[in-house]
Chain A
Amino acid sequence: MAIEKNLHVPKTIKLFINGEFPRTESGRHISLYEHGSQKVFAHVCRASRKDLRNAVAASLAARGEWEKRSAYNRAQILYRMAEMAEGHREEMVSLLTKINAASAGDANQSVDAAIEAFVYYAGFADKFSQVSGCVNPVSGPHHAFTTPEPVGCVAAIFDDNIESILALPIVAATLASVIASGNVVTALLPSNVSAQLAPLAEIFATSDLPKGVVNLLTGHQSELLDHLASHMEVQSICYVGSDRTTQEKLKTLGAENMKRVICFAPDANPTSLDRLAGFVEFKTVWHPIGH
């Protein structure tokens, strides 16, 4: 039998947990359709709460190592992401034009913005401490320094209704800004654009990022959100979206272990120091000086 020429082999879109691409343990999926048709473009994993638990466990395990890396090394890795993203440009553009019927120009701009975000946070990874920290004027024989430290395990939650053309840069920027200061992150991606975001996982997987620092889940928010927001090992929540009810809910569930819940509008500037400042704790050290 002759082999069909140009055999189209569609990519299975899987989760990204602990540096690996597992299928969801639940075996469930969500079907995504090409723009304006009934043609299935891809099946993406519909993660269960066990996948979520595993993802958080993976990020916790990665926390110590990532936090201890030098800021300069984190910067190198983030810059590497920009390089890898450039290599995935064609794929990302074709996904946006095919599924969302975006124009080639818009799609390219979207990829540009994502790459810019990686470069921006790569630059600030080893400068944020100098910019935001300070030597405090104190009266007495002491030095007092204030420096930012990562909060730990951050949950990034993206609203399902983020416009697809915005989703790529906003997700790239959010994840890059959270990990730049040494945090680890488990993210719930917006399910309707998760196929377009699949190349991001491959970028993270091939940028020398230690396994588990970034974990990406696709699935129904209604099913996963509560478990992530109430998880006692998650120290902070980054919510990207403008749904008031969700914001309230995250704050309520996060109160038990005093999570900091920071919300960004989907169209807020992706490259801003606010995004870095949201996920650090400022530590002040008093140091005696002898006479």
Chain B
Amino acid sequence: MRSVSMTDKAGRTLALLVPPVDEVGATERAEFFTKRSIKKESKIHALYLAISMCDLTTLEGADTPGRVRQMCEKARHPVPPDVFQSVAGQKNLPPIPSVAAVCVYPSMVSTAVKALAGSAINVASVATAFPSGQAPLKVKLDDTRFAVSEGANEIDMVINRGAFLSGDYQLVFDEIAATKEACGEAHLKVILETGELGSLDRVRLASEIAMRAGADFIKTSTGKIQPAATLPVTLVMLQAIQDFYMKTGKKIGMKPAGGIRTAKQAIQYLCMVNETMGSDWLTPDLFRFGASAMVNDILKQIFKEATGRYYYDRVFSLD
């Protein structure tokens, strides 16, 4: 067991006990969730749940207000309701749910807020000099405050990997704590960018630091770095959340992001959440997918269940 101590803002010393991670064991355990056979009603249930947990994301330099509005429309109705009714009417499938949130850059937040007015869909904004996080703290906090003032109710921040990898854990901790403060009421998701951390031991340590510093969610990746979310990484983070819950009674959410493209993968993740955390975590309040391409694949599977035909991409929106 490794011990790392942090000093919080009030000057108290927090000792973080970080258990070592068995890489081989974690990989094997994660592999285990890919062998499940989830069929028929359970499959439909899982697919619907996965859509409702999705954060539809567009984080490109080429984002325009039009593109964001289009994505928001898709967030409300992943398939136009009348189209779905005509395809799935005779099967009595429930309507396709809205997704949990849309995730955009701070400059697009006001567009998204307007487009989603009257719906229960959250607006998440990346902040803190996403995706690299290489900016002075003041800039990062201004970035965060701006996004919140524009109406974002979820903030996806990146940790300072430069500091983390050079062993300055206190700085990582302080930046997260400061961002949490800047968030105010908004939920804070902390992106660890696990693809840059190098080992599962470091993923575990970064998770502990983020949760102690005030994260409401911990998130694997920005989606800009490969590898992004993988099952073993998510498993280690879930176990960290579980241990944190046992110690403090606080429920932290989990968001794997990047690289999850198929309905099959989504179901594997849901199995893992269910069997690691219990069904309490099977809710959009505590588990999210950062995966936009996945939605169309899920819809394809739902259409397959509804019609018995293998469906095609072109009936759905292209992104």
A281 CB-CB contact with B under 8 Å: no
A227 partner residues in chain B, CB cutoff 8 A: 310
Question: Which of B308, B310, B315 has the largest number of chain A CB atoms within 10 A?
Answer: B310
Interface residues of B in 278-314 (CB under 8 A from A): 308-312
Interface string of A243-261 (1 = CB under 8 A from B): 0000000000000110000
Q: Which residues of A contact B315 (CB under 8 A)?
A: 232
In the assembled complex, the CB of A48 is this many whole angstroms from the nearest CB of chain B, namely 13
Q: How far is the CA of A231 from the CA of B312 in the complex (A)?
A: 8
A53 at the interface (CB under 8 A from B): yes
CA distance A164 to B1 in the complex (A): 69
In chain A, what residue has the closest Cβ to B300? A232
A: interface residue count bin:
under 10
User: Which residues on B sit within 8 Å (CB–CB) of A56?
Assistant: 310
Residue of B nearest to A57 (CB): B310
Establish whether residues B312 and A233, one from each chain, have CB atoms under 8 Å apart when the complex forms.
yes
* Interface residue? A242 (CB, 8 A): no
By the criterion CB–CB under 8 Å, are A232 and B308 in contact? no
* B315, closest chain A residue (CB): A232
Total chain B interface residues with beta-carbon distance under 8 A: 6
Docked CA distance A53–B301 (Å): 12
Taken together as a complex, chains A and B put the C-alpha atoms of A257 and B312 apart, in Å, by 10
- Residues of A with C-beta under 8 A to B312: 232-233, 257
Residues of B near A231 (CB, < 8 A) are 309-310
Q: Which of A53, A230, A257 sits near B308, CB closer than 8 Å?
A: A230
Within 8 A of B (CB), among A50-99: 53, 56
Could you tell me the distance between the alpha carbons of A257 and B311 in the complex, rounded to whole angstroms?
Answer: 10
- What are the interface flags for B180-203 relative to A under an 8 Å C-beta threshold, 1 for contact and 0 otherwise? 000000000000000000000000
- State the main secondary structure of chain B at its contact with A: loop
| A230 cross-chain contacts in B, Cβ below 8 A | 308-310
Is there contact, CB below 8 Å, between A53 and B310?
A: yes
Q: How far is the CA of A56 from the CA of B310 in the complex (A)?
A: 10
In chain A, residues 220-237, which have Cβ atoms closer than 8 Å to a Cβ of chain B? Answer: 227, 230-233
- In the assembled complex, which residues on chain B have CB atoms less than 8 Å from the CB atom of A232? 309-312, 315
Task: Give the shortest distance, in Å, between B21 (CB) and chain A (any CB).
Answer: 32
- The answer to whether A256 and B310 have CB atoms under 8 Å apart is no
B102 to chain A minimum Cβ distance, whole angstroms, is: 28
Output the nearest chain B residue to A153 by Cβ-Cβ distance. B312
Chain A's nearest CB lies how many Å from the CB of B115?
31
**Nearest residue, chain B, Cβ from A56:** B310
Min CB distance B312 to A, Å, is 4
Specify which chain A residues have a CB less than 8 angstroms from the CB of B310 in the assembled complex: 53, 56, 227, 230-233
Query: In this complex, which of B308, B309, B311, B315 has the most chain A Cβ atoms within 10 angstroms of its Cβ?
Result: B309
Closest Cβ of chain A: how far from B25's Cβ, in Å? 27
A53 surroundings in chain B (CB, below 8 A):
310
* Chain A residues, Cβ within 8 Å of B311: 232
Closest to A49 in B: B310
Residues in B whose Cβ lies below 8 Å from that of A233: 310, 312
Cα A227 to Cα B309 in complex, Å, equals 7
Cα(A232)–Cα(B309), bound, Å: 7
Shortest Cβ distance from B57 into chain A, in angstroms?
Answer: 25
- B309 CB to nearest A CB, Å: 4
Q: A222: shortest Cβ distance to chain B, in Å?
A: 16
CA distance A231 to B309 in the complex (A): 6
In chain A between 33 and 61, which residues have their CB closer than 8 angstroms to a CB of chain B? 53, 56
What separation, in Å, do the CA atoms of A233 and B309 have in the docked complex?
10
B264 to chain A, nearest CB (A): 11
Please, which residue of chain B has its CB at the minimum distance from the CB of A231?
A: B310
Say how far B293's CB is from chain A's closest CB, in angstroms.
15
A241 to B311, CA, bound (A): 27
Residue ID in chain B nearest A227 by CB atoms: B310
Q: List 17 A-B contacts (CB under 8 A).
A: A53-B310, A56-B310, A227-B310, A230-B308, A230-B309, A230-B310, A231-B309, A231-B310, A232-B309, A232-B310, A232-B311, A232-B312, A232-B315, A233-B310, A233-B312, A256-B309, A257-B312
- Chain B interface residues toward A at CB < 8 A: 308-312, 315
The 6 closest A-B pairs by CB, nearest first: A232-B312, A230-B309, A231-B310, A233-B312, A232-B311, A232-B309
**Known interface pairs A232-B309, A232-B315, A257-B312; 8 further A-B residue pairs with C-beta atoms within 8 A, sorted by A's residue number:** A53-B310, A227-B310, A230-B308, A230-B310, A231-B309, A231-B310, A232-B312, A233-B310
